[in-house]
Structure 1
Amino acid sequence: MQSLNSIRRGFEPWNDPAARPYIHFDRVTKKFGDFAAVNDLSLTIFEREFFALLGASGCGKSTLLRMLAGFEEPTSGRILLDGQDLRGVPPYRRPVNMMFQSYALFPHMTVEKNIAFGLKQDGMPAADIAARVAEMLRLVKLEEFAKRKPHQLSGGQRQRVALARSVAKRPKVLLLDEPLGALDKKLREETQFELMDLQQDLGLTFLVVTHDQEEAMTMADRIAILDKGEVMQVATPPEIYEAPGSRFVADFVGSVNLFQGQVTRRDAGRAEIAGPGLVIHTANPGDAEQGKTVHYAIRPEKIRLSSFPPENARANAAQGEIYDIAYLGDVTIYNVKLDSGQIVKSTVINSQRSADDPLTWGDRAWIAFQPDSGVVLTR
């Protein structure tokens, strides 16, 4: 039997020209008065995909989810699910289910009765309901809590009851609106992996809305970054992080250093960028053109920090003063004020108990990086 890891590793229908999208937002606009919460947005999601809509509050991600669920209708455009246009289809007739951040459990019902509620509403035979509820309890590892009521459970357990109830009817698509927002950090991290495993076990399509970058990066096969009702980039988590398509995406996801400069030389696979107090040689020039002003984006963990100048300090290196340090246990974050005045962030992994090259506040230090460590952004 194929493992979940190997299934997930080989799952890339978006790279298959013959693959048919399962969910298709086709030039969808949603206006509330004169305000466009979603603006001419097109997006495709594939069957069995774990897809994340990521963005700040007000970017339109929850509005998209509500339109797919049927709680809102598009002002214009179409939403297709498995080839069917959903316009005019009421929420209760759509093959989707939605799990809310509040969980919305019935406080007077036990765990098993909460899970069974939707099945009873659909008229499923009692024996089938009992079997389905037992299956759901087993999946979310709550068999011993079946007779308890919601107030007798922890936050993480209530979250799993809500999840079990949402998938008990076996919808084609499960919609999750900030599903882990009420959990503490450690439990949230544990539940992220449980959700991933459950999604693979059930073979469902999951569409999650979140403002938590780490949550999206951990769970999703692909992420859509939204801003002001528009899609800024759709890609896998590694692509979003390592190859952001714009300054907005680079700055929104994770921490990044941005250097502005002018392209002074450009050939097939390399470019030279001259900025204030720093010359950059890059092996990832993108579509940068000679003479144009661009930004060079590089993540803090790609920047080396040392008391000593690198062997070739003419490019990809600059000197400054350490003015801030944050020790986080596994890593230490250094803020270095370069002689040009720019603040650069460097993340150093604490792989040993003591550093070979200890640096502290006020020390002079060099930053350095490799030509393939960052990317050039032209927008």
Structure 2
Amino acid sequence: MKSLGSIRRSFAPWADPSAKPYIVFENITKRFGDFTAVNNLSLSIFEREFFALLGASGCGKSTLLRMLAGFEEPTSGRILLDGQDLRGIPPYKRPVNMMFQSYALFPHMTVEQNVAFGLKQDGMPKQEIDARVADMLKLVKLTQFAKRKPHQLSGGQRQRVALARSVAKRPKVLLLDEPLGALDKKLREETQFELMDLQQSLGLTFVVVTHDQEEAMTMADRIAILDKGEVMQVATPAEIYEAPVSQFVANFVGNVNMFEGKVKARNGEAATIVGGSGAEINVVNAGEAAAGKDVVFAIRPEKIKVSSKKPAGTNAMQGEIWDIAYLGDMTIFHVKLSDGQIVKAATMNSSRIAEDPLSWSDQAWISFEPNAGVVLSR
């Protein structure tokens, strides 16, 4: 079977039936009064995995993280860490550490004092503390800032101090709640790769909560998409993007075009879908959708080509250029089809000169390959 998308690393214990999960959420429900924040949720995370909980505000992702940290107890169900049931174990006795969005640094302490704080609380000998702090500051590239106070640092530097303090105690699991939310876009992008490198060099299990799709897609080995306290899909970033299991997931991650239709005919895995306007879409894999079944064909904008002339191939529809956005590296076209649907297409600007220039109100064709999208029944 061919892989979907690029492979960041060969690490994939979830694909090994004999591999034992490191963290297990087993039928977890969490209620706050009449409100159900997490609803009968089950989830497995493996050792040394960089795992992301992704969802909109109120979906239950932070509640899940807080239960793992020990700040909340499940209403029902249990959480296992390396085979141990965590119920009743207070936060300070759990082999996990949590890094908050606010960083929660002590303003009156220097950088090295902030990093050393938890080690002192544990009663570690001073010589060992000094060595550990030096290692941590070297790891996050802050050795020269050891004597500074938090207010003398940039947002990115404060973020790295909080990270060094979180990993100094060598927890088995590091929990990160919106860790990059306070950083500007450029610094956030740089820090994402720093976090990935740090996680792999330390060999720790990272569980990150975020509402930022790009952040989750960049950093995580796998992503759990949450909605209303339930898991919608758990998969690698490429699988989430290229093979969503539902319209909700397809819509939530990235941009997508949805063509509603009915399966006209099946030929093995392949099928023909007829839309409301009568346009036919041929696909190589219709999944379990039987002939006569209502389905949605989902396709990402970058999989669609736009041209002034009708292209050769099976899937082509004519429309009118409705909007154009030039973004430098790519151009976004909005094409209005005869049935009124507006299709979004993204074209990479691989050369400085447009080979097939199109403008507003021009007649144009959109086209795509039979394997470019996914058929969704729900």
State the partner residue of 1:311: 312
Contact in 2 for aligned 1:285/1:376 (Cα 8 Å): yes
Is residue 35 of structure 2 the alignment partner of residue 42 of structure 1? no
RMSD: 0.9
State the partner residue of 1:300: 301
Query: Aligned equivalents of 1:132 and 1:57: distance in 2?
Result: 37
Query: Aligned equivalents of 1:273 and 1:8: distance in 2?
Result: 35
Query: Aligned equivalents of 2:128 and 2:312: distance in 1?
Result: 71
Query: Aligned equivalents of 1:316 and 1:273: distance in 2?
Result: 11
Cα offsets for 1:189-246 (capped at 9, x unmatched)? 0000000000000000000000000000000000000000000000000000000000
Query: Aligned equivalents of 1:358 and 1:275: distance in 2?
Result: 29
**Equivalent residues in 2 for 1:117-266, closer than 5 Å:** 117-266=117-266
Query: Aligned equivalents of 2:107 and 2:33: distance in 1?
Result: 37
**Equivalent residues in 2 for 1:65-76, closer than 5 Å:** 65-76=65-76
Equivalent position amino acid for 1:309 in 2: K
State the partner residue of 2:283: 282
State the partner residue of 2:3: none
Query: Aligned equivalents of 1:279 and 1:260: distance in 2?
Result: 11
State the partner residue of 1:4: none
Cα offsets for 1:280-311 (capped at 9, x unmatched)? 00012111111000000000000000000012
**Equivalent residues in 2 for 1:324-335, closer than 5 Å:** 324-335=323-334
State the partner residue of 1:350: 349
State the partner residue of 1:97: 97
Q: CA deviation at 1:276?
A: 2.5
Query: Aligned equivalents of 1:291 and 1:355: distance in 2?
Result: 42
Query: Aligned equivalents of 1:8 and 1:18: distance in 2?
Result: 22
Query: Aligned equivalents of 1:267 and 1:300: distance in 2?
Result: 27
Cα offsets for 1:68-92 (capped at 9, x unmatched)? 0000000000000000000000000
Q: CA deviation at 1:135?
A: 0.3
Q: CA deviation at 1:354?
A: 1.3
Query: Aligned equivalents of 1:85 and 1:359: distance in 2?
Result: 62
- The two structures have a TM-score, normalised by structure 1, of 0.97
Contact in 2 for aligned 1:29/1:76 (Cα 8 Å): yes
State the partner residue of 1:61: 61
Q: CA deviation at 1:324?
A: 1.1
State the partner residue of 2:4: none
**Equivalent residues in 2 for 1:4-43, closer than 5 Å:** 9-43=9-43
Contact in 2 for aligned 1:71/1:91 (Cα 8 Å): yes
Instruction: Give the 3-state SS of the residue equivalent to 2:375 in structure 1.
Output: strand
Query: Aligned equivalents of 2:266 and 2:285: distance in 1?
Result: 11
Cα offsets for 1:100-156 (capped at 9, x unmatched)? 010000001100000000000000000000000000001000011001110100000
Q: CA deviation at 1:361?
A: 1.1
State the partner residue of 2:369: 370
Q: Matched residue pairs, number?
A: 371
Equivalent position amino acid for 1:202 in 2: L
Query: Aligned equivalents of 1:138 and 1:226: distance in 2?
Result: 36
Q: CA deviation at 1:8?
A: 5.7
Query: Aligned equivalents of 1:140 and 1:56: distance in 2?
Result: 30
Q: CA deviation at 1:360?
A: 1.4
> After alignment, is 264-273 or 71-80 more displaced?
264-273
Query: Aligned equivalents of 2:235 and 2:38: distance in 1?
Result: 20
> After alignment, is 323-332 or 23-32 more displaced?
323-332
Query: Aligned equivalents of 1:230 and 1:370: distance in 2?
Result: 34
Query: Aligned equivalents of 1:262 and 1:301: distance in 2?
Result: 24
Instruction: Give the 3-state SS of the residue equivalent to 2:148 in structure 1.
Output: coil
Q: For structure 1, which runs of at least 5 residues remain unmatched after alignment?
A: 1-6
Contact in 2 for aligned 1:284/1:374 (Cα 8 Å): no
Query: Aligned equivalents of 1:298 and 1:108: distance in 2?
Result: 53
State the partner residue of 1:320: 319
> After alignment, is 133-142 or 275-284 more displaced?
275-284
Instruction: Give the 3-state SS of the residue equivalent to 1:218 in structure 2.
Output: helix
Identity of aligned residues (%): 77
Stretches of 4+ moved more than 3 A in 1?
none
Is residue 107 of structure 2 the alignment partner of residue 107 of structure 1? yes
Query: Aligned equivalents of 2:198 and 2:294: distance in 1?
Result: 47
